[in-house]
Amino acid sequence: MPRRTLGVVLRFAALVGLGLAGLAGLAAPAHAQSKKLKLGIYAPSVEFASANARLAYVQALGKAIAQAAGIELEVQSYASVDTLRKGGVDFAIVDGPCYATNLGWRLLANATINGATTRPWALYASVPDMQALRGKKLSYISTNCNDAGFIDNAMLDSEVDPAFFATRIGKSDLAAAVAEVAATKTAQAVFAPAGAAKGLAKLFDTGTVPNPAFVDLNGKLPAATVEKVAAAVIGYGGAGAISGWTRPSREVYASFAGRLGKVVKGGVLANPEPVRIDAKDVLIDPPTIRDSALVGVRHHFVRPPGERIE
């Protein structure tokens, strides 16, 4: 090959190499942005058999989401809502009362348990009645999601003095809170979903509490990605403590959030019914004189002289 032609070929090859390197450089940042997304769970009010069972559930759900949405997903279980907030989580399963106090998070799905998005709760105790609990200890799930409002207002309807219980013992999850009363007997009462406190007496129903929520914590992901994740969650049947998911309904959480505030009750004022008065009840009807004497009228006439008036 002539030297001039060889030089042209070499220069062309060098230009091609620079072009490919440039293309690789442009592609590198795009690749760097495709990081794993993170899915977390904090649902202490759900009756998972153990911490491992809770983690296994979210791992199975995460796998289903990754396959359906075509994304890489890392999953983790959290011991508190505060650590979940600080954990760089993109999507999360959050306990119902905790989402009710953080309604700014985008709701993607509602958890269903026994076919419903809420569950009835009650006060369970190791004593026979409410009066026997005065001065005793109350066990509860410590979520740091307005726990005082949950107990005093949502559960007790703002009708019980906060000092009624001598002490409140916060526990990490529902199983531990119930065990504090049923097993270790350190406390004498606990609020729990219906049927979740075996061996304890139900003193009274306290109303319904929403199930966990599946939320978007990132807030900056592409809409298409978020929609795929939401569809995958709603389509996930699952099994066990959380039986499934349904389309988002923010109303159940907003309604519960209203119950967390103190309720001030007053007397009920009703408009009086109009009263019709019979005139005979207010007027005095004078008695009729039936045997009145007849007044003679003869003295009203003038007798002409020489005539008699008969």
Over residues 183-236, the pLDDT tens digits come to 999 999 999 999 999 999 999 999 999 999 999 999 999 999 999 999 999 999
The pTM of this model reads 0.76
Lowest mean pLDDT: which of 87-101, 128-142, 210-224, 276-290?
276-290
Query: Which of 13-27, 70-84, 188-202, 292-306 is predicted with the least confidence, judged by mean pLDDT?
Result: 13-27
Place of tokens 């003193």: 203
Give all domains of the chain, ordered by start, each with its CATH number: 33-117+211-259 (3.40.190.10), 121-206 (3.40.190)
The residue assigned the tokens 């289903």 is 64
Identify the weakest region by mean pLDDT among 39-53, 186-200, 215-229, 283-297: 283-297
pLDDT bin (cut points 50, 70, 90) of residue 13 is: very low
Give dist(CA 176, CA 196) in Å, integer.
Answer: 12
Least confident of 9-18, 87-96, 236-245, 280-289: 9-18
Supply the mean pLDDT for the chain: 85
Structural Rg of the chain based on CA atoms: 41
Four-residue CA torsion sign, 238, 239, 240, 245: positive
Residues in CB range of 166: below 8 A, 6 or more apart: 135, 136, 137
- pLDDT higher than 50, residue 8: no
The end-to-end CA distance of the chain, in Å, is 179
Number of residues assigned to the chain: 310
Rounded Cα distance, 194 and 172, in Å: 19
Q: What is the pLDDT of residue 6?
A: 43
Q: How far apart are CA 129 and CA 131, in angstroms?
A: 6
**What's the pLDDT at 274?**
73
pLDDT value of residue 18: 41
Closest CA to 94 of 71, 254, 67, 82: 82
pLDDT, position 114: 92
Task: Count CA atoms closer than 13 A to 134's CA, side-chain side.
Answer: 4
Question: What pLDDT is attached to residue 31?
Answer: 35
The closest alpha carbon to 65, from 55, 75, 78, belongs to 75
Residue 298: which residues within 8 A CB-CB, separation 6 or more? 309
